[in-house]
Structure 1
Amino acid sequence: EFTEEEKTTGLWWKQLAAGGMAGAVSRTGTAPLDRMKVFMQVHSSKSNKISLVGGFKQMLKEGGVTSLWRGNGVNVLKIAPETAIKFMAYEQYKKLLSSEPGKVKTHERFMAGSLAGATAQTAIYPMEVMKTRLTLRKTGQYSGMFDCAKKILKREGVKAFYKGYIPNILGIIPYAGIDLAVYESLKNVWLSKYAKDTANPGVLVLLGCGTISSTCGQLASYPLALIRTRMQAQASMEGSEQLPMGRMVKNVLEKEGFFGLYRGILPNFMKVIPAVSISYVVYEYTRSGLGIQK
């Protein structure tokens, strides 16, 4: 969230650029773990258990070292439009929802954040579907992003670009709510215990709060993320039945039990700390390079 000074001086675009660069480097650095997460979400089951080491061996055997970065190109490309739409939508929703001009309450901020996230996801969702398809592709299946889009459009039509959209949007609400609530609670607990004279906990404390709150949010919304990924991927898998959301959930619970909804969560959690750390370092260096004062 930007201050009024940042908006009027034009510093906001530099902040966005620094954030975009941090996101791109962070996603690229943790892409192998992200691909492993998607691979396990879609292919791992009770009858076909895939371990972390076994999964990486499979991917390396099928496509070599570079295959670990499949889907990363579109994942990095979607940062700019997603961030820009989210930022602009957030500002507009805050104005619409605030009961007092210039003052935004916590619940209004949460609602604005959730709606902004949903708006951004709706706009860039076709790129999410392409990311999943490209991440799971076999060697030679697609020559690139445009070839992937063309083949999906030709074989499945426009609606294929919105497969898994409902669980995706439903997942934003618990994720955003828990993330915000845990973050604010942890920050306030730290301030009440250790900081008597300042309202600024410091960067490392905020990073720690952010990592824990993000992990809690992911834990709550992960089953919906798994259902979304399977729905996005099912048309590209040979002999796979096209299941709607309700039947997909029922199918997973019947065949794999409750923990089947958490397939791939280990690599997902493994990438949280490196992703946050890389983001922070790159963000600080980019800010410094763009001349933004601390």
Structure 2
Amino acid sequence: MIMVVTVFLKNTFLQLYRPTSCRNLRQFPQKQFMAPNGTGRNLPARIVNGGIAGLVGVTCTFPLDLVKTRLQNQCRVNGELLYKNTFDCVSKVLRTEGFFGMYRGSGVNLLLIMPEKAIKLAANDTFRHSMSGGKPLTLIQEVTAGAGAGLFQVVVTTPMEMLKIHGQDAGRIAAQHSAMNGHSTMTVQSPSAISVAKNLLRTKGVFGLYRGLSATLMRDIPFSVVYFPLFAHLNALGLISGGSSERSPFVVTLLAGMIAGATAAVSVNPMDVIKTRLQTLTPSSGQSEYNGFLDCVRRIFKEEGVRSFFRGALPRAIVIAPLFGIAQSVYFLGIGERMLGAKQLRPV
């Protein structure tokens, strides 16, 4: 699967950037192919912007992401759910695990979110600029750019979320065992991301870190297909004229990212539930390990009903909305361009 993705991305990249003939170059303004005033540094600058944006965004929203994971992974214990709703989950985590319990599993996420967001945001931005040719993008081009960004990011996203979910879910497992045994107190033992990674590499090889890859692809590509075109159109409503560096106000970009993020998050929530279940190393009590994507879909539908595919949709939307709003706003601040002396281009 990884090899197929790699070959596809390589061929797509070559098609996007390779001119069909030398004669075709004369049909476009020279500035489309030249790098005036430092624009040749745009790709590294976009990567820097994406990394900083991801780090700031995930630091602000990680506690809600933990709540989303706990809600999606829980099952009934003695006939009752461990967490009744989002607010009940937050209350119980704070009471039993303390404030830092809300950041359980955040280490690996903070480490890998920088390359993940750098790839996602920079890839979409680069694809859009390469396909625009100075003209407005068609819907097909916008969808293609978003799909390409989603396809690129799974190389980092899949192992990152595999390790993150294991850390986030430690409290849920401990609370579940405590409830089953009738204990009023519990001890949360959360293995480090390094120990989890070593164990997976030792027992299942590199592909152990890519467990749930198919579900991740089926979540992240549709998410990007919905998110990026919707964000671009909402953000364009606030564009202020100013030459090639036209830019929307910070608040407009923030709101556009939040609305587009929440919309995309809810639309692909069923795939997020499946991905979370597949990547959970310790299934809920009374459940056996899922045997692949189709087995996971069948068993959730049969044992828990359709509504379970939308479990955690509210906290996921609450997580994704500010995450992408903050990340997209920070991305467009142009920190990378100022650091590398690159020219900040107008969003397309």
1:137 to 170, 185, 203: 170
Distance change in 2, residues 1:116/1:197 (3 Å)? closer
Partner of 1:211: 258
Structure 1 stretch 218-227 or stretch 198-207: which is displaced more?
198-207
Deviation at 1:247, TM superposition (A): 2.4
Runs of 5+ in structure 1 lacking a partner?
none
CA contact (8 A) 1:32 1:68 kept: yes
- Equivalent runs, 1:192-207 vs 2, <5 Å: 202-207=249-254
Deviations 1:245-270 (A, max 9, x none): 22222222233322211111222222
Contact 1:71–1:131 (8 Å) recurs in 2: yes
Which residue of 101, 115, 122 corresponds with 1:67? 101
> What one-letter code is carried by the residue in structure 2 that aligns with 1:170?
M
d(CA) in 2 for partners of 1:90 and 1:282?
A: 16
Distance 1:216 1:230, change over 3 A: same
Alignment match of 2:197 (pick from 145, 149, 165): 149
Equivalenced residues, count: 286
Report whether the alignment pairs 1:179 with 2:212. no
Please tell me the residue identity of whatever aligns with 2:39. T
Query: What SS does the corresponding residue of 1:170 show, helix, strand or coil?
Result: helix
Answer yes or no: is 1:245 the counterpart of 2:278.
no
Tell me the SS of whatever aligns to 2:152.
Answer: helix
Contact 2:219 2:271 in 1 (8 A): yes
Deviation at 1:221, TM superposition (A): 0.8
Deviations 1:187-240 (A, max 9, x none): 56x47xx99999865443333233222221111111001100111004465653
2:8 — aligned with what? Answer: none
C-alpha contact (below 8 Å) 1:44/1:50 kept by paired residues? no
Aligned counterparts, 1:46-57, within 5 A = 47-48=80-81, 49-57=83-91
* Distance across 2 between alignment mates of 1:223 and 1:41: 10
Given the alignment, which residue of 28, 39, 47 partners 1:16?
A: 47
Report which stretch shifted further, 249-258 or 31-40.
249-258
* Distance 1:178-1:167 versus aligned 2 partners, 3 A rule: same
Letter in 2 for 1:39: R
The question of 1:118 aligning with 2:160 is answered no
Q: 1:25 aligns with which of 53, 56, 70?
A: 56
Amino acid paired to 2:152: T
**TM-score, normalised by the number of residues in structure 2:** 0.67
Larger CA Rg, structure 1 vs 2: 2
* Larger displacement relative to structure 2 (31-40 or 155-164): 155-164
Contact 1:6–1:12 under 8 Å retained in 2: no
Deviation at 1:132, TM superposition (A): 1.1
CA deviation profile, 1:115-167 (whole Å, cap 9, x unmatched): 3321321355222211111221243341x221121123345544332221111
Within 1, Cα distance between the matches of 2:112 and 2:318?
A: 23
- The answer as to 2:311 corresponding to 1:268 is no
Identify if the C-alpha distance between structure 1 residues 186 and 101 changes in structure 2 by more than 3 Å, giving closer, same or farther: closer
Contact kept? 2:65, 2:315, Cα under 8 Å: yes
Aligned residues of 2:227 and 2:260 also touching (Cα < 8 A): yes
Q: Residue 185 and residue 54 in structure 1: after superposition, are their counterparts in 2 closer, same or farther (change >3 A)?
A: same
Give 2:140's match in structure 1, choosing from 100, 104, 107: 107
User: Which AA in structure 2 matches 1:267?
Assistant: P
Corresponding letter in the other structure for 1:219: V
User: Shift in Å at residue 182 of structure 1?
Assistant: 2.8
CA distance in 1, matches of 2:297, 2:309: 8
2:199 paired with 1:168: no
Cα pair 1:134 1:148 within 8 Å, conserved: no
Paired letter, 1:224? M
Superposed displacement of residue 22, structure 1 = 2.8
Percent identity, aligned pairs only, is: 24
Question: 1:227, 1:6 → 2: CA distance?
Answer: 47
What is the rounded CA distance, in whole Å, between the counterparts of 2:37 and 2:68 in structure 1?
Answer: 37
Alpha carbons 1:22, 1:280 under 8 Å: kept: yes
Q: TM-score, normalised by structure 1?
A: 0.77
